[in-house]
Amino acid sequence: MHMSDALITPVVGGTMLATSSGLVGYSVRKIKIDIFEKRLPLMAVMGAFLFAAQMINFAIPGTGSSGHIGGGMLLAIILGPAAGFLTMACVLLIQALFFADGGLLAFGCNLINLGFFTAYVAYPLIFKPITKKVLNKKTLMIGAIIASVVGLQLGSLGVVAETFLSGRTDLSLGLFLLFMQPIHLAIGLVEGVITGVVVHYLYSQNPDMIYSDHAISEVKTNKKLMIGIIIISLIVGGLVSQFASSSPDGLEWAMEKTGLSPGDDHEVVGWFESLQSKIAPMPDYNFEGDQSKQGLGTSTSGVMGSLLTLGITLILGLVIKRVRKRVKQVE
Amino acid sequence: MLKSMLNLDELEQLARRDLWVNRLHPAIKIAATLMYVIAITSLSKYALDKVLLFGIVPILIISIGDVPYKGILSKLIIPSILSISLGIFNPIFDREILMTVGRVGVSGGFISLFTLLIKAIYTISATLLLVSTTTIEALANGLAFYKLPKPLIMLLLLMYRYIGVLLSEVSKTMEAYYLRGHGKGVHISAWGSLVGQIMIRSYRRSEEIYNAMLLRGYSAGER
């Protein structure tokens, strides 16, 4: 499952949307238009395959349970980083729009978590170097497993960071990490083995099915790719650190929530800290400003009023539908 | 998954109707949906009263656009469970009483949990309502209006169409595999060949479809 809109703030979502659209633009420019056109059916069919592949239950040996394939690394290995990234972008967009998985505002977050980390980090920095010299079953498997694990670990770190910066849940950073990282280690291992086995089969049937940049142009494109990654990570890092510095209370808040901060057994201090944790992180993260805290004491009537309004709208809506049906019948 | 494919058909049938909402320019609908999502998500995690009011929009669209409630509600179940599971710790960590209903005090944690849930329901409904009043082709036009690269839009359209092709391909293969008496999951010895064969076969078919498109005068550069 992907991040949903409700978990993030417009600032986090917007930043990630801007970053990921920059990456989409970079990827489109990287594939020349005539090559793009030729590879279009393969990209489309691989993306669509990921949807259909959810039907396949892979029995995990020795556990009695079964797993599914996520497919980010598979896309990168078969299509190459740029085309893999673009295909992932379309997959995520379709999922957000038609399958209620993800969201429009969270699209950027999901694309960074699932597309960027696999196609532009794990693939060129881990899979490529491992399989560069010899491409056989062993290197393919090792490369696919390590790259999948690293990609998924980075992705789930991204989820934790984006959720934490948005502050929509009170889940402490430590607890969230402790929950997310081990699960994604297991998922990454299974994903890696499936990816490795499938890629090896495809390679044994037809080596052309696996993406490879030609030996001569390889150095050049890799260099360009590296520079691109460095620039992008600088931009991302700069933006993220802006968040961090604009709200120094975030870390304090995290430390307090995870129980690292001393001295919260005093009642007054504890009260102030809980007050501060409510007030401090929000003005910076919300467009709404600090009015959120005020008026909360009296907002029972507000909630009741909203519910009432909603109820009236719902009844009106149902009446409209009924009337429309009747009109249709008369016609 | 077959069910979700039927859902895709259902959504498409809804979108193909000739209603006022469906005829609106897709670019406007996309912008409106995005603005709606931004407005909701910008509200603070305690703003339950304000967030609740935003429900007017989906209710209105459902009424005007004549979209069945059932279709939307059934798709909201899993995302709702997910957002609850992520917010479930809010009531534990955040116990300060912020509101009283009669004599019962409601802690900030419960308010933020409900706010999160309502936000998830509204934002997902908004997206689902967008696609149940707009066809994929219209959506593509809307995205082109915002200057998305044409090949990317073509990729989106092609992928959407291939989902059905691939689903029937995979379901046939899986049926054949299970009919040969294998257990509940695909054995590790068949992981590569089963998935690989499906991929190779689908790729060949996709090329045939693509060649047919080329013969009918298609070109990715123009549309």
Write the pLDDT tens digit of every residue in A129-168: 998 888 888 999 999 999 999 999 999 999 999 998 988 8
Say whether B188 and A197 touch across the interface (CB within 8 A). Answer: yes
ipTM of the complex: 0.90
- pLDDT-based confidence at A212, cuts 50/70/90? confident
The candidate with the shortest Cα–Cα distance to B218, out of B160, B150, B162, B163, is B150
Say whether A7 and B83 touch across the interface (CB within 8 A). Answer: yes
In chain A, residues 61-120 whose CB comes closer than 8 Å to chain B: 61, 66, 69, 86-87, 89-91, 93-94, 96-101, 103-105
Nearest CA distance, A312 vs chain B (angstrom): 9
pLDDT of residue B96: 83
Among all residues of chain B, which has the CA nearest to that of A197? B192
Among all residues of chain B, which has the CA nearest to that of A317? B63
Say whether B210 and A40 touch across the interface (CB within 8 A). Answer: yes
* More confident of the two residues B181 and A206: A206
Say whether A55 and B199 touch across the interface (CB within 8 A). Answer: no
pLDDT in tens, B78-116: 888 888 888 888 888 888 888 887 788 888 888 889 999
* More confident of the two residues B186 and A331: B186
pLDDT of residue B153: 92
Say whether B191 and A46 touch across the interface (CB within 8 A). Answer: no
pLDDT in tens, B108-141: 888 889 999 999 999 999 999 999 999 999 999 9
pLDDT of residue A127: 92
Q: Does A4 touch chain B (CB under 8 A)?
A: yes
Q: Does A237 have pLDDT greater than 80? A: no
Say whether B220 and A89 touch across the interface (CB within 8 A). Answer: no
* More confident of the two residues A323 and B36: B36
In chain A, residues 239-298 whose CB comes closer than 8 Å to chain B: 257, 274, 278, 282, 286-288, 292-293, 296-297
pLDDT of residue A289: 41
pLDDT in tens, A249-289: 444 444 445 544 444 444 555 555 555 555 544 333 333 44
Q: What single string gives the DSSP state of each residue in chain B?
A: -HHHHHHHHHHHHHHTS--HHHHS-HHHHHHHHHHHHHHHHHS-TT-HHHHHHTTHHHHHHHHHTT--HHHHHHHHHHHHHHHHHHHTTHHHH---EEEEETTEEEEHHHHHHHHHHHHHHHHHHHHHHHHHHS-HHHHHHHHHHTT--HHHHHHHHHHHHHHHHHHHHHHHHHHHHHHTT--SSB-HHHHHHHHHHHHHHHHHHHHHHHHHHHHTT--TT--
pLDDT of residue A55: 79
Nearest CA distance, B145 vs chain A (angstrom): 16
pTM of the model: 0.79
